[in-house]
Amino acid sequence: MNAPYDLMVIGAGMAGIAAANRCAAHGWRVGIVDPLPYGGTCALRGCDPKKILRRGAEIIDDARLLQGRGVDATGLALDWSGLMRHKRGFTNDVPHDVEARLRKNGVRTFHGSARFVNADALQIDGESFAANRFLIATGARPRSLEFPGREHMIDSTEFLSLPDLPPRIVFVGGGLVSFEFAHIAARAGADCVIVDHGERPLRAFDPDLVDLLVRRSEQVGIHVHNRSSIGAVNRSATGLQVDIHWGDVVTSIETDLLVHGAGRVPDLDTLDLEAADVASGPRGVDVFGHLQSRSNPRVFAAGDSADTLGERLTPVAVFEGKVAASNMIKGSRTVPDYSGVPSTVFTIPELNRVGMLEEDAVRDGRDVDVRFHDTSGWYSNYRVGETTAATKVIIDPATDQILGAHLLGPGYSEVINTFALAIKLGLTTRQLKSATATYPSVGSDVGSML
């Protein structure tokens, strides 16, 4: 057995890295372990590579929107393998850079899969390491699906490394992964089908804006099936035969690729949590609000593998990692502040949300002022040729404070950050309108959205 560490961090993604660096800066003896190259989902298999691929798709769409208005987009096409090279130009360096920074900060880095052997020690490749504290930051993995033929399905990691993009793609699930990937693939020329078993896709977003996005998606060759599920998948002479169930009706379609976009679950199975008396449930490690395990006080958890009030997003993983580190160092019980966390579906155009949905206000019987605007005819959208754009802002009439903002349109993933700040700081619409933005920028539309 090695001399005890002050902290062993399990998982070198956003949450784990943030916590390891903070505790090492405080002078703690810290170790971190991951079986995969360092950097985690966001940098290597999620947000960052995805948005690099989206850039190519954006350029195609931008050009097509101005076809006949000063731009000749005929013959414009995505070079998928070139785009993949562009992606690797970023992702290739991440593991080395992340690990070098951790080491420079005094963190000992390990490669391998960790599992607990008892309440105060874990094992990596047969070697045991004791520690005073452990941080579980193992992230999430695709949910298991049970339909016959599921072995033909690829996951988001594989999609982001496809050497070629086939012409026909079916996505299982109508969440963020499927919509974002389908919007990229459609601009690359693929015919896309999204099969979702819910009443409507993208459940966490404003339904009026989702309807508009679904219509815009149909226009670019993405077909969305609600209340539908996959019955079975079989290999055929020319691809994959997919049976789609819609109530009692079964439709068979041919595709070249089946992609998992049906949600992710905490990645805890390899940890042997029982050996360390760490309780967990379907939403992750069972923690108090301040991120300490309810059953083993030596253990904290953060990011996608922790059962917290936070959404499964990178900024949340980072600030949970930092709050967990700070609580471990100080012995404090600070609860992360989840207010004003924005999220974006990086479709083209993008769909954004921060704060309360209109339906939350209705459910709570709360008196709110809902300001909806079809912004498709506004100057900013005319300029780029976008014909689908709208905003909905939810305001508390008693205080004039912003409770929620929902934006669909080009450039609005930057604008949502202004609303996020307003919600975090409790700004009134009057205060927000008093700010001056550069003109003509998309941000200068904020006053008119209120």
Ligand X SMILES: NC(=O)c1ccc[n+]([C@@H]2O[C@H](COP(=O)([O-])OP(=O)(O)OC[C@H]3O[C@@H](n4cnc5c(N)ncnc54)[C@H](O)[C@@H]3O)[C@@H](O)[C@H]2O)c1
User: Binding site for NAD(+), residues?
Assistant: 173-180, 263
Among 133, 183, 245, 264, binds ligand X (CB under 6 A): 264
**From ligand X, ligand FAD, none, interface partner of 287 (C-beta below 5 to 8 A by class):** none
Q: Output the smallest distance, CB 222 to ligand X, in A.
A: 14
Q: Which DSSP state fits 93? A: T
- Residue among 255, 292, 327, 343 that touches ligand X (CB under 6 A): 343
Stretch that binds ligand X, among 14-22, 90-98, 258-266, 427-435 (CB under 6 A): 258-266
Judged by CB under 6 A, the residue of 7, 8, 10, 195 near ligand FAD is 10
Residue 136 interacting with ligand FAD (CB under 6 A): no
| Helical spans, DSSP H, in 188-240 | 207-219
| From 50, 133, 225, 298, residue interacting with ligand FAD (rule: CB under 6 A) | 50
Find the shortest distance in angstroms from Cβ 175 to ligand X.
Answer: 2
Number of H helices, E strands in the chain: 14, 25
Cross-strand pairs, 229? 245
Question: Measuring CA to CA, which residue among 263, 233, 262, 258 is closest to residue 245?
Answer: 233
Give the burial class of 447: count Cβ atoms within 10 A of its Cβ; 0-12 exposed, 13-18 middle, 19 or more buried: middle
Among 19, 172, 220, 285, indicate the residue that binds ligand X (CB under 6 A).
172
Binding residues for FAD: 51, 304
Is-contact 94 45, C-beta < 8 A? no
Residue 14 CB, nearest distance to ligand FAD (Å)? Answer: 4
Among ligand X, ligand FAD, none, partner that 270 touches (CB below 5 to 8 angstroms by kind): ligand FAD
Residue with tokens 């949910």: 143
The mark string for 319-348 relative to ligand FAD (x by CB under 6 A, - otherwise) is ---------------------------x--
Is residue 8 part of the contact set for ligand FAD (CB under 6 A)?
no
Token match 């190519």: residue?
56
Secondary structure (3-state) at 401: strand
Burial 311-326 (b: 16+ CB within 10 A, else e): ebbbebbbbbbbbbbb
Ramachandran angles phi, psi of 17, nearest 5°: -65, -45
Is residue 232 a contact residue for ligand X (CB under 6 A)? no
Q: From the list 39, 40, 261, 310, which residue makes contact with ligand X (rule: CB under 6 A)?
A: 261
222, 183 Cβ separation under 8 angstroms = yes
Stretch that binds ligand FAD, among 33-41, 228-236, 393-401, 442-450 (CB under 6 A): 33-41
Q: Which of 48, 58, 196, 267 binds ligand X (CB under 6 A)?
A: 196
Q: Quick one: what does residue 34 bind among ligand FAD, ligand X, none, with the CB cut-off 5 to 8 Å set by partner type?
A: ligand FAD
Q: Which residue is nearest to ligand X (CB)?
A: 175
Comparison of 52 and 131: residue with beta carbon closer to ligand X = 52
**371 vs 426: CA distance, rounded Å:** 18
Which of 145, 232, 384, 421 touches ligand X (CB under 6 A)?
Answer: 145
Q: How many chain residues touch ligand FAD (CB under 6 A)? A: 36
Which segments of 150-301 are extended strands (E)? 153-154, 168-172, 191-195, 222-225, 228-236, 239-246, 249-255, 257-260, 264-266, 280-281, 284-286, 299-301
CB-facing half-sphere around the CA of 91: CA atoms within 13 A: 24
- The DSSP code sequence of 35-74 is SSPTTHHHHHHSHHHHHHHHHHHHHHHHHHHTBTTTB--T
Interactions with ligand FAD, residue window 151-210 (CB under 6 A) = 156, 177
Residue of 313, 317, 408, 423 interacting with ligand X (CB under 6 A): 313
CB nearer to ligand FAD: pick between 183 and 312:
312
- Binding residues (CB under 6 A) for ligand FAD: these are 10-16, 33-36, 40-42, 46-47, 50, 113-114, 137-139, 156, 177, 267, 270-271, 303-305, 312-315, 317, 346
